Amino acid sequence: MKSDVIVDTETFVRSTLDKDGTGHDWWHCVRVRNTAVKLAHEEGAEVRIVELSALLHDIADHKFHGGDKEVGPRIAKEFLEAQGVEREVVEHVANIIRHMSWSTSKEGNRAFDSLEMRIVQDADRLDAIGAIGIARCFAYSGHAGRPLYDPTTDGEYNTSALQHFQDKLFKIRDSLHTASARNIAQERHVYMKEYVARFHDEWGGIV
């Protein structure tokens, strides 16, 4: 049976992110939670920390809060404290949310690390690849006002949805921490490669 804290966290996340149209919505959090809990069992991590962090990880993404990276950890912390969750758990979850994002980890920030963080990060990255990853990429790109593809800006960073595959999505497989996540990523990676090849074929009128 689910604990009260998990049920209350689900309700909180759902009410906050239900209307999101950028691919960082409630169901993204559910998928990341489900994958993260599975990875936690396989990798021997603390399931409760992983589950709470996965549910809360996008509660206030800095991209949508003027670049402020403290909003998400602070909201998660205040919420969990109000639920009476133990201090060490609250701190660990806040640290995971503070340090797990792609951009933060690319800055070479090694200020915090744990098996639980690696697992939530892997689960979040797995949701950015494969069939769902493709859908999220186009949803986000549309939200940001960028085109599907533009052959005149080929290779230029952040110029279209198709470019995002080169910029980030094709790099995800080799950035994962756990063997369990790498196993899942392999097929999704190949699927995306095939998809992009097909996209270019159709664009060129070949099929």
> Minimal distance in Å, beta carbon 57 to Ni ion?
6
CB 96 within 8 A of CB 73: no
CA–CA distance, 52 with 101 (Å, rounded to integer) = 16
Give the residue with the Cβ less far from ligand ADP, 83 or 191: 191
DSSP character string of 24-69: -SHHHHHHHHHHHHHHHHHHT--HHHHHHHHHHTTTT-GGGTTT-T
Residue with tokens 């980890």: 105
Contact between 136 and ligand ADP per CB under 6 A: yes
Task: Provide DSSP, 85-115.
Answer: --HHHHHHHHHHHHH-SHHHHHTT--S---H
* CA 95 from centre of chain: 16
- Least spacing, CB of residue 10 vs Ni ion, in Å: 16
Nearest residue to 45 via CA among 35, 58, 31: 35
Q: Name the residue type at position 93.
A: V
Which of 20, 25, 43, 58 touches Ni ion by CB under 5 A?
58
- Chain positions 58 to 97 lying near ligand ADP, rule: CB under 6 A, are 61
The site map against Ni ion for 12-51 (x = CB under 5 A) is ----------------------------------------
Q: How far is the CB of 124 from Ni ion (least distance, A)?
A: 4
167 Cα distance to chain centroid: 16
Should residue 122 be labelled a site residue for ligand ADP when binding is judged by CB under 6 A?
no
Q: Which is nearer to Ni ion, 43 or 124 (CB)?
A: 124
Shortest separation between residue 139's beta carbon and ligand ADP, angstroms: 8
- Interface with ligand ADP (CB under 6 A), residue from 11, 103, 109, 183: 103
Q: Which of 69, 79, 49, 75 is nearest to 111 (CA)?
A: 69
Site string for Ni ion, 119-158 (x = CB under 5 A): -----x----------------------------------
Number of residues that bind ligand ADP (CB under 6 A): 16
Q: Which residues are near ligand ADP by CB under 6 A? A: 23, 61, 101-103, 124, 128, 133, 136-137, 140-141, 158, 161, 164, 169
